[in-house]
Amino acid sequence: MHALHPGGGPEAGPATGARTAKALPEGKVVLGPEEIRRALTRVAHEIIERTDGAGDVILLGIPTRGVPLAHRLAARLAQVEGRPAPAGSLDITMYRDDLRLRPARTLGHTDVPPAGVDGKIVILVDDVLYSGRTVRAALDALGDIGRPRAVQLAVLVDRGHRELPIRADYVGKNLPTSQREVVQVLLSETDGQDAVVLGQNAIATEAGR
């Protein structure tokens, strides 16, 4: 059981121990708390523009770090539009295409607002967009829950290196990276502070998928 990985955040690089780490992981800080705040505010405004006031929008975060991001975006939508925006979480562990290659993972929590997703605009929220495999799994998971009118994707960081024909509708920051690098997103809800750190890790490309 010791080999289990904490659910979620797989594209962000090895997340093991990140929740307890108080100090920043080694590497270059590419986004600080202020920049993250501004990026989310801009993304929230883009969502309102593109969805005609975000009336039918449901934000579903992908565990682990997509979930607090979805709630932060929902709070901003509510602030700007003056009506609450539903937010929840969508665990994709059981839909991953690499389950057989890794030890069984702990499941994250799926929490879909009680009204369901049928006929709504679902915006999937994740911290890092990398290979695109997590998003593919999320689309499959979403299909088993209901039939949204449209599905869009919002990410805090797009680091490139897509392996599937997937792109984000809303991007907090485009971050050109090499595959040897690790992008780690830290959020105050899960890690005690807000930061995006770009580090070097030779084994990260293997572990980060």
Partner 1 sequence: MIRHLISAGDLSRDDALLILDTAEELDQVSDRSIRKLPTLRGRTVVNLFYEDSTRTRISFEAAAKRLSADVINFSAKGSSVAKGESLKDTALTLEAMGADAVVIRHGASGAPHRLAGWVRGSVVNAGDGTHEHPTQALLDAFTMRRRLGRLEGLRVTIVGDVLHSRVARSNVLLLRTLGAEVTLVAPPTLLPVAVSGWPCEVSYDFDAELPKADVVMMLRVQAERMNAAYFPTVREYSRRYGLDTRRMALLPEHAIVMHPGPMIRGVEIAADVADSPRSTIVEQVANGVSIRMAVLYLLLGSEGTR
Residues contacting 137, CB < 8 A, separation 6+: 92, 95, 96, 97
Interface residue list for partner 1 (CB under 8 A): 1, 3-4, 91, 94-95, 99-110, 140, 144-146
Is 29 or 107 the residue whose CB approaches partner 1 more closely? 107
CB of 158 to partner 1, least distance (A): 27
DSSP string, 102-152: SPPPPP---B--TT-STTSEEEEEEEEESSSHHHHHHHHHHHHH---SEEE
CB of 89 to partner 1, least distance (A): 11
CB of 166 to partner 1, least distance (A): 18
Is 1 or 202 the residue whose CB approaches partner 1 more closely? 1
Residue owning tokens 């929230």: 44
Is 95 or 170 the residue whose CB approaches partner 1 more closely? 95
Distances (CA, A) of 95 to 15, 46, 208: 20, 29, 17
Is 53 or 146 the residue whose CB approaches partner 1 more closely? 146
Give me the sign of the Cα torsion angle 139, 190, 41, 129.
negative
CB of 208 to partner 1, least distance (A): 17
CB of 17 to partner 1, least distance (A): 17
Is 106 or 174 the residue whose CB approaches partner 1 more closely? 106
- Specify whether the CB–CB gap between 82 and 62 falls below 8 A: no
